[in-house]
Amino acid sequence: MKELLRAREALKAIEGKLHKVAERSRGIIPYTTFDGHFDDTSKNSICWWTNGFFSGMMWQMYHYTGEKLYRELAEDIEKKLDENFMLPWGMDHDSGFKWLPTAVAHCKVDWNEKSFNRGLIAAENLAGRFNPNGSFIRAWNDSGDGSRAGTVIIDCMMNLPLLYWASDVTKDPRFSQIATRHADMAMKYFIRENGSAIHIGIFDPNSGEFLRSEGGQGYGVGSSWTRGQAWALYGFTLSALYTGEQKYLDTAKRVADNFILQMAKRPDTGIPIDFDQPFDCKREDSSAAAIAACGLLELGKFDEKYSEAALDILEFLIENRLSLDEDKDYLLWNCADSFWSNREQMTLIYADYFLLEALLKLIDKDLPIFTPDKEAKI
Ligand code: GLY
């Protein structure tokens, strides 16, 4: 298949580039680039939600190539993140994003007690954010006034694999019970009739009543922020793979069907930042594209049409949005942290992580960091 061949070629070129990037990136935790060069987010915030992704890239590359350099960088980031455990305001719903691609990935490659403990501490903390009345995992923190106690976001679907992992390794079902209760809640309140997802849901934290949805990084209230759609698409797919529950697979397919329908409305461009942004607004988010491609590839194991959609996305990214310039640290460009951000055409480390994961999935060489180790239960 033409697209597969192209993906293999791209991966080869990425392999050469990433070795050089890794050599000059010791000791940092990148989030984005300035003039093509990585920042070091650990200097500003050791708690930032994306701090696991460069480590995830390094573990993927170590798993793929066996090169020690990658492993050294990943282990360094994992140790640095220990500081986050001691900063309570920096422990939030994004523990999965931070400790799956660091401590848990390390355990999967090479089991060790310290990484195992880090993964469990992170999972215990995430489970502790569960509100039994509303059946949701609380999102962000507040100053202690409870103003965000009922705030929930669709992105959190991607943190649930940390809980599934914790149940798997401890044989204690509490973690996955919390994960499935959150997923059931998200299915009910976050997925609209047409398969699109809301970004933020506000609940009464005492009664558990759903109060309203809010806009966040997308175009507005009621719109379809594409990265949120991608988190939902991949997130429900992962819950289906971990639990074997048909209802999560059906939900993932509904979200994916809507994603594909919306993509078709804007042929010849990348994924917009929001499917509801005006058609003459050409701003894109390549991170949403890469995340969706990962979810679609997993869904493709159940229906080939999803693999074809993933290949279309990856072909577009490889041909139009991938930098193979070895002097630049990033892979994908034209990403957006938010529709309302004043930074245009950003690079984002998680866009690069999910592109790499998707390309490795294509040749069945990915380390299962977000996905389960074993064969899918479905
Ligand atoms: N989880 C935050 C974001 O996707 O920007």
Write the burial class of residue 192 (CB in 10 Å: 0-12 exposed, 13-18 middle, 19+ buried).
middle
* Active-site choice (40, 76, 142, 155): 155
What pLDDT sits at residue 317? 97
Question: Which ligand 1 atom is at minimum distance from the Cα of 228?
Answer: 4
**Of 67, 81, 52, 80, nearest to 22 (Cα)?**
67
Task: Check if the beta carbon of residue 373 is closer than 8 Å to that of residue 108.
Answer: yes
Which residues in the chain show pLDDT less than 70?
A: 1, 374-378
Q: Say what the pLDDT of residue 375 is.
A: 58
The pLDDT value recorded for residue 28 is 98
Q: Helix 226-243 vs helix 174-189: angle between axes, to the nearest 10 degrees?
A: 140
Amino acid sitting at position 115 = S
Annotation marks residue 155 as catalytic: yes
CB under 8 Å to 213, separation ≥6 — which residues?
189, 198, 199, 200, 201, 202, 221, 222
With beta carbons less than 8 A apart as the criterion, state whether 50 and 44 touch. no
- Which amino acid residue places its CA nearest to atom 1 of ligand 1? 155
Q: Which is it for strands 37-38 and 33-34: parallel, antiparallel or unpaired?
A: antiparallel
Closest by CA to 191, choosing from 256, 137, 242, is 256
Q: Residues 61-101: pLDDT tens digits?
A: 999 999 999 999 999 999 999 999 999 999 999 999 999 99
Using the atom order of ligand 1, give the atom closest to the CA of residue 338: 5
List phi, psi (to 5°) of 110.
Answer: -155, 95
Tokens of 343: 């930074």
> Is residue 96 within 8 Å of 350, Cβ to Cβ?
no
Q: Which amino acid is at 104?
A: V
CA 1–ligand 1 middle distance (angstroms)? 33
Q: Which residues of 304-314 are buried (b: 16+ CB within 10 A; e: fewer)?
A: eebbebbbbbb
| Contact between residue 99 and residue 122 where contact means Cβ atoms under 8 Å apart | yes
- Position in ligand 1 atom list of the atom nearest CA 231: 4
Three-state SS string across the chain, please? CHHHHHHHHHHHHHHHHHHHHHHCCCCCCCCCEECCEECCHHHCCCCCCCCCHHHHHHHHHHHHHCCHHHHHHHHHHHHHCHHHHCCHHHCCCCHHHHHHHHHHHHHHHCCCHHHHHHHHHHHHHHHCCEECCCCEECCCCCCCCCCCCCEEEHHHHHHHHHHHHHHHHHCCCHHHHHHHHHHHHHHHHCECCCCCECCEEEECCCCCCEEEEECCCCCCCCCCEHHHHHHHHHHHHHHHHHHCCHHHHHHHHHHHHHHHHHHHCCCCCCCECECCCCCCCCCECHHHHHHHHHHHHHHCCCCHHHHHHHHHHHHHHHHHCECCCCCCCCCECCECCCCCCCCCCECCHHHHHHHHHHHHHHCCCCCCCCCCCCCCCC
Q: List residues near ligand 1 (CB under 6 A).
A: 49, 155, 217, 227
Pocket test for ligand 1, best of 31, 217, 225 (most atoms within 8 A of CB): 217
From 35, 76, 92, 94, the catalytic residue: 94
With contact defined as beta carbons under 8 Å apart, do 136 and 182 qualify? yes
Closest-CA residue, ligand 1 atom 5, reads 337
Q: What is the pLDDT of residue 242?
A: 97
- Concerning whether 250 is annotated as a catalytic residue, the answer is no
List the strands of the sheet with 210-214, edge to edge.
151-153, 200-203, 210-214
Candidate from 231, 291, 340, 348 with most ligand 1 atoms within 8 A of CB, to mutate: 231
Per-residue pLDDT tens over the stretch 249-302 = 999 999 999 999 999 999 989 999 999 999 999 999 999 999 999 999 999 999
Nearest-atom number in ligand 1 for the CA of 217 is 5
